[in-house]
Amino acid sequence: MNIKTKTATEIESEVGINRNTLKTWADLGYIKRIRLSRVNVRYDVPSIEAYLNDGIKYSEVMGNETGNSIT
C-alpha cells in the first residue's frame, strides 16, 4: 500500500482540510483511524495522523518550532 504523507499546510491549501474537518470525518466514519502522536522528540511536536478508507494518510502537525499551526 502506497501511503502518502502531507503536511497540514499542504492539506489545507489543496483540499481545505483542517483539524475540525478531520474530527468530523472520523465521526462520519470516513477515516479509519485518527491518533495523536509525537513526531519530533526534540521539539515535542504533537500531530494528528488520519488514515482515510482509501489508504491515504494525512498528517497534521499542530505546532512546530516555526510556530505553524492549524486551529
Domain boundaries, the chain: 8-61
**Confidence (pLDDT) at 69:** 43
Distance of CA 41 to the CA centre of its chain: 17
What digits encode the pLDDT tens for the residues 39-53? 433 444 445 565 555
Mean pLDDT of the chain: 54
Please give the average per-residue pLDDT across 17-21, as a whole number. 65
Please give the average per-residue pLDDT across 10-21, as a whole number. 61
Question: Is residue 70 within 8 Å of 62, Cβ to Cβ?
Answer: yes
**Per-state percent for the chain, helix, strand, coil, to nearest 5:** 25, 30, 40
